[in-house]
Amino acid sequence: MVITDLTGTSAGAGGMSWAALRALANGSTSFHAELFSANDRMTGSAYADTFKAGGGADYLVMGAGDDTAWGEGGNDTLDGGSGDDYLWGGAGNDTLQGGAGADTLDGGTGADYLSGGSGDDTYHVDHASDVVAEPTPLKGGVTSGTDTVIASIGHTLAARVENLTLTGPATMGFGNTLANVLDASGLDHGATLAGGGGADTLVRSAWDDTLAAAASMIELGAADDGGAVDSLRGGAGNDFYIIGQEDRVFESAGGGTDTVMVFAAGTYILPSHVENAFVNPDKIVGCSIIGNGLDNNIIIDLMYECSIYFYGGSGNDYLLAEVDSSGTLSGGSGDDILSIFYTGDIVLRGGSGADTYEIACSDGKVVIDGFEGAGVAGGDVLDLRDSKTEWTFMGTTIPTDSIGNIWLEEGAGGETLLNFGSEWDVGLSDMYRDIVIRDGATKASDYTADDFNPGVRPGASSVRRREAPRGWRTEDAVRSHARIARDPRKTSRGINGCSVAAVFGRARVPGTARGRAPGPSSRGSWGTAYGPAASSASGWALRGGSR
């Protein structure tokens, strides 16, 4: 039986009991009532009832069946009782209580209060002021079920709610301390998902997403993830994962260019199909990153003391260590780039392949372990273009005034010492120390310009791009030499800077390049670079210098 208008009945003046309605229904086992009067009150039965309130502030209490209640307009209160109920608040600021059973609660528009009770409940959230509240577990550990929020706006899971599904325009979803499942797979745009302290599973969209193991990491805060193991699942698009050491990242082949940011100490092995790793050393003192078979970029670049070990694996990798970090960069196989900038004591191992060692400066000892192919084109290369001084390669001759100079000399056990003089930058007087090259075979006199790289940086350097320092040019050696010699900026700094391009450059014109730049106290500095007699020659080297 269906009653569509209770105006003028006791429902509008304080409520109509189920017994009265059943009498009207003449024994019907279910009831459908539409309430049009203001501020109605209805109490359901043990059957599957359907109540639709009117425009007032209605109070609907369902019974034991699988009931359906619509609040429509007004600030309504809907109580599902037992059973698997569907409650919809409609317009207004509604209060929905599911009770026992697997209930679905949708407050509609307005700022609604949603409480599912026991059972596996589903909440629909579409307002920033919607509140989801799951009851505290009963004594004996009885929980309130496994609950899910379906949100069309950014949402953070409330306590005791396990799962979150983003829909519509939603772009952000955050978990809690439980083992959450955060799902953005139905979106037509990218999203940010961040678990909390539990063993979480993050399911991304088909777009560019950010997946994080802990919500606090989004703000680059503490990386304490409660010790749980999270599962972060990517797919197509360029994904960014913020993780602890034990978290698991799953990527598919051809799924874009993906990056993990590691916040926790320990050893992390870069997952299959993930290209890049960044280490944030804010809260850690030591970290090891092991690459895979891809062309990896593994980078630490913040100003904190951190002991590191980076291993690139079998690809053509780019490894970067910056301010105050110390440890080892090991390229593995492939043509790798190992780059340092203001580091402490550090060891660089290129491994097999034609490797490039980019050394800006260091306040510690730099050891190049296994420099291969000295004096041979296509071998390893030492790149000093990012240094803060215009260097001069002096062969095995140590100049009497070492300001702005670099030279090679033979050390013990087959080592070659690459020595830096003082630099002219104010406030950086302690930043240049010795570089030890351990090649085991070559001598200092075997090094030529082919072992140094002043040209355009390799493509992988796009990850960390800087302007070339003063004194470097991309023209051929002779033209650069003459141009730098005329540079008025050399009147007070970079004594031997005029020779640097000729020393490490590529010359298309055979013969000799010579230049002079005034130095402090008007002493000046001369340098001569000698090249082979063949056209399109390489291998220029400054064989000594005169003052």
The answer to whether 285 touches 263, Cβ cutoff 8 Å, is: no
Q: Judge whether 375 lies within some domain.
A: no
What's the CA gap between 6 and 13, in Å, rounded?
10
Whether 286 is covered by a domain: the verdict is: no
pLDDT tens for 178-190 read 888 888 888 888 8
* 105 within domain boundaries: yes
Q: Which of 101, 119, 145 is the last residue of a domain?
A: 145
* Nearest of 326, 461, 325 to residue 381 by alpha carbon: 461
The tokens of 504 are what? 């490490």
- Per-residue pLDDT tens digits for 232-251: 777 677 888 877 777 788 88
pLDDT, residue 232, reads 77
Domain count, the chain: 2
Residue 54, domain member (yes or no): yes
- What is the rounded distance in angstroms from the CA atom of residue 341 to the CA atom of residue 283? 21
Percent of the chain with pLDDT over 90: 24
**Residue 339 pLDDT greater than 70, yes or no:** yes
Q: Which range, of 176-180, 313-317, 331-335, averages the lowest pLDDT?
A: 176-180
Instruction: With a cut of 80, say whether residue 536 has pLDDT above it.
Output: no
Taken as a whole, the chain contains a residue count of 547
Q: Given 120, 145, 170, which residue is the final one in a domain?
A: 145
pLDDT-based confidence at residue 314 (cuts at 50, 70, 90): very high
User: Phi, psi (5° rounding) for residue 90?
Assistant: 75, -150
pLDDT in tens, 342-367: 788 899 999 999 898 888 767 778 88
Residue 383 counted as domain residue:
no
Integer CA distances (angstroms), 494 to 244, 427, 437, 470, in order: 46, 16, 25, 9
Kindly state whether residue 465 falls inside one of the protein's structural domains.
no
Rounded distance, CA 302 to CA 284, Å?
A: 12
C-beta separation of 357 from 376 below 8 A: no
Tokens of 313: 């694996």
> What pLDDT, in 10s, does the model give residues 204-223?
776 766 776 653 333 222 33
The whole domain housing 37 covers 1-145
Q: Of 87, 111, 145, which closes a domain?
A: 145
Q: Domain for residue 536, yes or no?
A: yes
Is residue 396 domain-resident? no
